[in-house]
């Protein structure tokens, strides 16, 4: 009985389905013309709805890509926000930066990019240099990952572009390729002219002071001490991902310390690179610098924080090998491609004497070494300072309290910066 019932239900359903098919076909052939409905219009409408659904799905996919694999904040501070852009509305690429050349010894991150990324690198640099706020078409299309690497390469190579924000917007096409970019800036207009003048003045003053010393190690130490003396760690500092915050405003975070050290060394002629990674579990930035042909790690942020807490100049993170600094520092994937540091000849202890060692530091700050969240054990040997005089800048040191910029100049987004 149950089998007959199921068979009866099956044929009943089949008849109903067949009837519906005939009814729909009859409506399409006879009913729609009587009602004035055009079949082509219906087909076009359905196609448009399908395309809209695909576009929505593409937007979801690119959003997921941006939030997941597209942005790696351990590889740099630049972060982009993407939206779907029709390729039909693209202008011809302008200000492509083809006139610029970049020596890979000074600008190593560019040399890590592929040919298409390097072209976009030049274009980003050219537009940032002119503070272009308009959306512009890229000279080459890139994936979101490639765009992120390219933006970080520009940011890491060029601390002199201190007005460039760490966020940007980009447009991508239906193939999820980035086709447009819009940069943003923390300082613009007439304010930028004044800011550049103040910035260049401080850099020139430090460089002039460093030139009074004959050896690269003395010049390096002079720059290190000068920046530490004129600056303090402050997570609330304006424009704190820039060298400007350290050199003019006198308050910054690790990105500002590292980029300030980098730009002064570059201006002096010392080879110095910006390194990103982690320190005690938190995102961090420091430098590697070439002294007498060998590279060394130097971390001004942690040296300054320790010195302020200790009450005397210490050089715990001055000219360390990779092995030594790996006790609490680790390079990002991007920065790990830069030169390794294995030499010890120009370490602080070898050249100048004892100082606080890494083993003397007990960091309790959960990743950021700032005043108040760590303790210092008594060093085994007395600390030897390299000089008797006071501030390396002397009377020429800029007054950071008088260097504050107008309120509108402090609008740089720092949500994904390196602290």
Least-confidence region, from 162-171, 230-239, 388-397, 404-413: 404-413
- H or E element in which residue 289 lies: strand 282-291
Q: How far apart are CA 256 and CA 307, in angstroms?
A: 18
Which among 185-189, 231-235, 313-317, 338-342 has the top mean pLDDT? 338-342
User: What's residue 260's pLDDT?
Assistant: 98
Could you list the beta-strand ranges (E) of 23-93: 79-84
Q: For the beta carbon of residue 411, count every other beta carbon within 10 angstroms.
A: 14
139 pLDDT more than 80: yes
- Listed by start position, the domains of the chain span 53-185, 189-404
Kindly state the average pLDDT of the residues 381-398.
Answer: 54
Share of the chain above pLDDT 90, in %: 56
Q: How far apart are CA 96 and CA 227, in angstroms?
A: 35
CA dihedral sign of residues 66, 415, 372, 288:
positive
Q: pLDDT grade, residue 363 (50/70/90)? A: confident
Question: For 261-289, what is each residue's pLDDT tens digit?
Answer: 999 999 999 999 999 999 888 899 999 99
**Inter-residue contact 162 to 244 (CB < 8 Å):** yes
* Residue 272, token pair as written in the block: 């110095």
50 pLDDT more than 50: no
User: What's residue 282's pLDDT?
Assistant: 85
CA dihedral sign of residues 48, 53, 55, 56:
positive
Own/partner pairs, 363-368, CB within 8 angstroms, 24+ separation? 363/280, 363/328, 365/280, 366/280, 366/281, 366/282, 367/278, 367/279, 367/280, 367/281, 367/282, 367/283, 367/284, 368/279, 368/280, 368/282, 368/284, 368/419
* Residue 335, token pair as written in the block: 């920065």
Closest of 296, 317, 320, 297 to residue 305, by C-alpha: 317
Closest of 274, 302, 292, 294 to residue 340, by C-alpha: 294
Q: Coil, strand, or helix at residue 223?
A: helix
Q: pLDDT grade, residue 42 (50/70/90)? A: low
Question: For 78-102, what is each residue's pLDDT tens digit?
Answer: 666 555 666 567 778 889 999 999 9
CATH 3.40.50 fits 189-404, yes or no: no
Q: How far apart are CA 334 and CA 77, in angstroms?
A: 12
Q: pLDDT grade, residue 192 (50/70/90)? A: very high
Q: pLDDT grade, residue 189 (50/70/90)? A: confident
Q: How far apart are CA 62 and CA 83, in angstroms?
A: 8
Question: For 9-20, what is each residue's pLDDT tens digit?
Answer: 555 665 665 666
pTM: 0.75
**Inter-residue contact 72 to 152 (CB < 8 Å):** no
169 pLDDT more than 90: yes
């Amino acid at each position: 009985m149950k089998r007959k019932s199921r068979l009866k239900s099956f044929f009943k359903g089949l008849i109903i389905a067949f009837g519906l098919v005939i009814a729909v076909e009859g409506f399409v052939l006879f009913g729609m013309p009587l009602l004035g409905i055009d079949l082509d219009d219906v087909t076009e409408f359905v196609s448009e709805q399908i395309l809209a659904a695909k576009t929505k799905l593409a937007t979801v996919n690119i959003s997921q890509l941006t939030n997941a694999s597209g942005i790696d904040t351990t590889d740099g501070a630049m972060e982009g926000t993407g939206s779907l852009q029709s390729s039909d509305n693209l202008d011809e690429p302008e200000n492509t930066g083809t006139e610029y050349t970049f020596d890979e010894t000074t600008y190593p991150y560019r040399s890590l990019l592929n040919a298409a990324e390097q072209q976009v690198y030049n274009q980003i640099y050219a537009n940032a240099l002119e503070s272009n706020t308009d959306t512009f078409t890229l000279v080459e299309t890139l994936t979101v990952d490639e765009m992120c690497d390219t933006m970080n390469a520009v940011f890491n190579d060029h601390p002199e572009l201190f007005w460039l924000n760490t966020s940007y917007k980009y447009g991508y096409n239906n193939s999820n390729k980035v086709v447009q970019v819009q940069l943003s800036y923390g300082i613009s207009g007439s304010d930028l002219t004044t800011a550049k003048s103040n910035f260049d003045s401080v850099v020139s003053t430090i460089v002039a002071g460093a030139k009074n010393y004959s050896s690269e190690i003395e010049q390096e130490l002079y720059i290190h001490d000068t920046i530490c003396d004129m600056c303090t760690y402050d997570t609330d500092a304006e424009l704190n991902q820039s060298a400007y915050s350290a050199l003019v405003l006198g308050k910054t975070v690790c990105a500002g310390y590292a980029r300030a050290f980098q730009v002064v060394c570059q201006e002096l002629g010392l080879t110095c690179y910006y390194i990103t990674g982690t320190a005690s579990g938190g995102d961090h930035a420091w430098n590697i610098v070439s002294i007498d042909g060998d590279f060394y790690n130097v971390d001004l942020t942690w040296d300054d924080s320790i010195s302020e807490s200790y009450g005397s100049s210490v050089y715990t993170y001055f000219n360390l090998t990779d092995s030594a600094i790996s006790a609490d520092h680790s390079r990002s994937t991007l920065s790990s491609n830069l030169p390794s540091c294995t030499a010890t000849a120009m370490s602080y202890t070898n050249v100048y004497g004892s100082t606080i060692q890494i083993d003397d530091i007990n960091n309790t700050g959960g990743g950021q070494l700032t005043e108040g969240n760590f303790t210092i054990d008594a060093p085994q040997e007395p600390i030897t300072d390299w000089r008797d005089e006071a501030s390396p800048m002397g009377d020429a040191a800029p007054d950071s309290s008088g260097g504050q910029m107008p309120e509108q100049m402090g609008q740089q987004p720092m949500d994904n910066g390196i602290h």
